[in-house]
Amino acid sequence: MQGQQDSFSALYLKYQDGRLLTKWQNYALWTIPSIFPDINSGKDTTLLGNAPLEHDYQSIGALLVNSLSSKMTNILFPINQAFFKLQPSEQTKELFARLLNTEIKQIDDKLISTEQAAHKRLFLNAGYSQLTQLIGTLIVCGDAILYRENNSFITYSPRNYGLVRDMSGNVLDCVIKEGTTFGELSPALRAKVEQGNPRKDLDPAIMYTRIKRGLRKGNVVYTVSQEVEGVSVGKPSVYPIDLCPYIFCAWKIVSGNSYGSGYVEDYAGDFAKLSDLSRALAIYEIDACKVVNCVKPGAGIDVDSFHEAENGDWIQADPQAVVAHEGGQANKIQQLSASINTIFTRLSTAFMWGGNTRDAERVTAEEIRRQAKEADQMLGGAYSMVSGFVHQHLAYLLLVEADSTFQGAIVGKEYELNILTGTSALGRATEIQSLVEATQICQAVIPILSQLSQRFDTETTIDRIFSSFGLNISDWVFTAEELRQKEMAANAAAQNSVDTMAPSLEELGGVV
């Protein structure tokens, strides 16, 4: 057992920042409280059970965050297209061909099928919902951890961990706090924790997981170790930086800060005002619904009889002495509602509410690419930031799951595995779309030019059209040598056909 100053629980408390916890609690209250529950609720959310949640007087924040997180997840992880693209060199292709036991000319098809198989693993065990939760947590808090285990994802919010980053944003040390039960512990570990004081299977226990960055044989690695109430759990696991199952994410991070900042923080003023106005409007509207019957003093009315009278009853009273009083004014309610709508209009623009995302099962790659660029511009580069934290790391993990052949090569650094992510990864489908558009223009233009004049060079025209779409014509046509060989093969086949069809001497009756 380590000393108290070095225990995982002490590190967890050391790495957490109380000021940030209070700030994140407010941001979650204005948007989605379950992302970061109240730290003063009296219920430890790292243990079993749910903490009681305090809700705001408005749900506009939840509407905007849910919409943006869903849209961002759809852009970052398109359902019908891999979010990454393998781009190996020719030397790497030769190594792939040897590792995968296939011909080098077939390696492109093999890599594409591997990309698709790895991408499909995102959706196992409701993985897409966890990715959406990850993006929502980043929008609200700005920091989150995505954990990959047994083909499933787990998202941790800053409520569950403490960490420290270097000036470049690399996580140097992190401690995750989560709840478990004694029944889930191994008998040997349970005996060490109980120390002669038996506990029930459903009694809660706190588990700490530490992920520490270091060097081993010159390579950057992460060492993962666990403790339950100060007792070590098994032996530490060591992962290469590319294959660590813990992915540390941030929405936006400033050099020197250990934690990222979320998108809600940029609009905290509007959200705070929206919360206060919504609360004031709700209280005012409720108060305005209150009706009080006022009786003129000295009117001689039996108030109890008046109050208890049923519909149609007869009582002795002066109707002019009784007035029904209602509080509140309609114009004030309209003014408050107008102020709230003004704030909602500003926030809806910032959070891309009602944007141009088409509601369809099949969205083209060009649409996704356009939306990604729009999101990056609207959100201040957040798309590129999140893509940099998540995409490449996740691509390595999913590739190894899809084909274990990659693991030894990645760990051993046998070759450089170039992975394109973000908008660059969408280039393959966009290239095909450009090819379709270029061929359509060729079909429309070339016949007309040929009819107008014989001076037009068909081949040069095709080259110019392909070039205007950013397509390299050499990637699609035969080389001069390949054309020569193809022509020779065609001539040889034609000659063989003529020889076969020529009549023999016997067929001609032996006459020459």
Give 431-476 pLDDT, tens digit per residue. Answer: 666 777 888 888 888 888 888 888 888 888 888 888 777 677 776 6
Average pLDDT of the residues in 41-46? 50
Q: In what order do the strands lie in the sheet with 152-156?
A: 152-156, 143-149, 246-250
Which stretch of 106-120, 265-279, 471-485 has the lowest confidence by average pLDDT? 471-485
Give 7-30 pLDDT, tens digit per residue. Answer: 899 999 999 988 899 999 999 999
Residue 207 has phi, psi (to 5 degrees) of: -110, 135
Residue with the larger pLDDT of the pair 176 and 489: 176
CB 95 within 8 A of CB 409: yes
Does the pLDDT at position 49 exceed 70? no
- Look at residue 352 in the predicted model and tell me its pLDDT: 84
- Non-local (6+) Cβ contacts of 85 within 8 A are 115, 419, 420, 421, 424, 425, 427, 428
* Buried/exposed code over 100-109 (b: 16+ C-beta within 10 A; e: otherwise): beeeeeebee
Parallel, antiparallel, or unpaired for β 246-250 and 291-295?
unpaired
CB 383 within 8 A of CB 376: yes
- Look at residue 115 in the predicted model and tell me its pLDDT: 81
AA identity, residue 297: P
Between vectors from CA 110 to CA 105 and to CA 115, what angle results, nearest 5°?
140
Residue/partner pairs of 198-207 with CB below 8 Å, 24 or more apart:
202/48, 204/47, 204/48, 204/179, 204/180, 205/179, 205/180, 205/181, 205/229, 206/9, 206/46, 206/47, 206/177, 206/178, 206/179, 206/180, 207/177, 207/178, 207/179, 207/180, 207/233
Does the pLDDT at position 416 exceed 60? no
- Look at residue 52 in the predicted model and tell me its pLDDT: 64
- Look at residue 365 in the predicted model and tell me its pLDDT: 55
Question: Residue 173 — left, alpha, or beta (φ > 0 → left; ψ -120 to 50 → alpha)?
Answer: beta
Confidence class for position 508, pLDDT limits 50, 70, 90: low
Pair of tokens at residue 123:
């959706």
Distance CA 195, CA 200 (A): 14
CB 299 within 8 A of CB 320: no
| Residue 133 burial (10 A CB sphere; 0-12, 13-18, 19+) | buried
Residue with the larger pLDDT of the pair 45 and 496: 496
CB 61 within 8 A of CB 267: no
- Non-local (6+) Cβ contacts of 239 within 8 A are 221, 222, 223, 224, 245
Does the pLDDT at position 357 exceed 60? no
Give 380-408 pLDDT, tens digit per residue. Answer: 677 778 888 888 889 889 988 888 777 76
Q: Which DSSP state fits 193?
A: H
Angle between helices 107-120 and 90-100 (to 10 degrees): 70
Average pLDDT of the residues in 424-436? 60
Confidence class for position 184, pLDDT limits 50, 70, 90: confident
- Look at residue 4 in the predicted model and tell me its pLDDT: 46
- Look at residue 155 in the predicted model and tell me its pLDDT: 95
Does the pLDDT at position 509 exceed 80? no
pTM: 0.76
Confidence class for position 260, pLDDT limits 50, 70, 90: very high
Distance CA 173, CA 165 (A): 7
Does the pLDDT at position 92 exceed 50? yes
H helix or E strand, kind and range, residue 161: strand 161-165
What is the number of other CB atoms lying within 10 angstroms of the CB of residue 271? Answer: 24
Does the pLDDT at position 281 exceed 60? yes
Does the pLDDT at position 3 exceed 50? no
Which single residue is written with the structure tokens 């020197």?
A: 256
Does the pLDDT at position 48 exceed 60? no
Which stretch of 71-85, 166-180, 462-476 has the lowest confidence by average pLDDT? 462-476
Residue with the larger pLDDT of the pair 436 and 159: 159
Between vectors from CA 178 to CA 161 and to CA 252, what angle results, nearest 5°?
25
Does the pLDDT at position 512 exceed 50? no
Q: Print the SS3 string covering 222-276.
A: EEEEEEECCEEEEEEEEEECCCCCEEEEECECCCCCCCCECHHHHCHHHHHHHHH
Which stretch of 125-134, 426-435, 475-484 has the lowest confidence by average pLDDT? 426-435
Task: Report the percentage of the chain scoring pLDDT > 90.
Answer: 28
pLDDT mean across residues, the chain: 80
Bridge partners for 154 per DSSP: 147
- Look at residue 152 in the predicted model and tell me its pLDDT: 92
Instruction: Report the range out of 211-215, 418-422, 451-455, 486-490 with the highest average pLDDT.
Output: 211-215
Confidence class for position 483, pLDDT limits 50, 70, 90: confident
CB 76 within 8 A of CB 135: yes
Query: Quick one: CA dihedral 405, 408, 411, 415, positive or negative?
Result: negative
- Look at residue 255 in the predicted model and tell me its pLDDT: 87
Bridge partners for 156 per DSSP: 145
How far does Cα 31 stand from its chain's mean position? Answer: 18
Average pLDDT of the residues in 214-218? 88
Give 93-117 pLDDT, tens digit per residue. Answer: 777 777 667 776 677 777 778 888 8
Q: Print the SS3 string covering 353-366.
A: CCCCCCCCCCCCHH
Q: How many CA atoms lie within 13 A of 390 on its CB side?
A: 30
- Look at residue 506 in the predicted model and tell me its pLDDT: 56
